[in-house]
Structure 1
Amino acid sequence: MNPTDPTDGPRANVGISVNGERREVPRGLTLDGLVTALTTARAGVAAAVNETVVPRGQWPATTLGDGDRVEVLTAVQGG
């Protein structure tokens, strides 16, 4: 175990809620990384962290932390 590497060790993951489902994700994961892992859609996607909508331009700089509640919404077209 490397004490200077925050991703090395028993707490390399954090627990978050994604659309109401509990998940363990790597410490340091960004909102952009999470959305990319969840959907291939790049248009019509919105995301909120702890009930606050995060503009798409801020996704790469938004690091998810233990206990965060994330909602990812994808627009569906239809009639």
Structure 2
Amino acid sequence: MQILLNGEKRALDGPVSVRSLLESLGLAGKPVVVEKNQTALLPRELDSATLAEGDVIEVVQITAGG
């Protein structure tokens, strides 16, 4: 299946959770904001939110700066 991740096409094997996607990106446990099809997901939704063909995902990592 294909999704659009931060504006780029990405192929995935079968249905996966958003949390699994974050793990594959090396972002597990890091502060991020995830938007699925223009809807922001709460942290508690990352395990239950599954990806489907054509989903549009935006992941923004939160970093502190000064």
TM above 0.5: yes
The structure having more radius of gyration, on CA atoms, is 1
Deviation >6 Å, runs of 4+:
none
Higher relative contact order (CA 8 A, sep 6+): 2
Among all aligned residue pairs of Structure 1 and Structure 2, give the percentage whose two residues are the same amino acid. Answer: 29
Q: Are 1:72 and 2:59 matched, yes or no?
A: yes
Gaps of 5+ in 1: 1-13
Could you tell me how far 1:30 is from its partner in structure 2?
0.7
Deviations 1:51-77 (A, max 9, x none): 100111111111100000001111111
Size of the aligned set, in residue pairs, is: 66
- What TM-score do you get using the length of structure 2 for normalisation? 0.89
CA RMSD across the alignment:
1.2
Q: Are 1:28 and 2:24 matched, yes or no?
A: no
- What TM-score do you get using the length of structure 1 for normalisation? 0.76
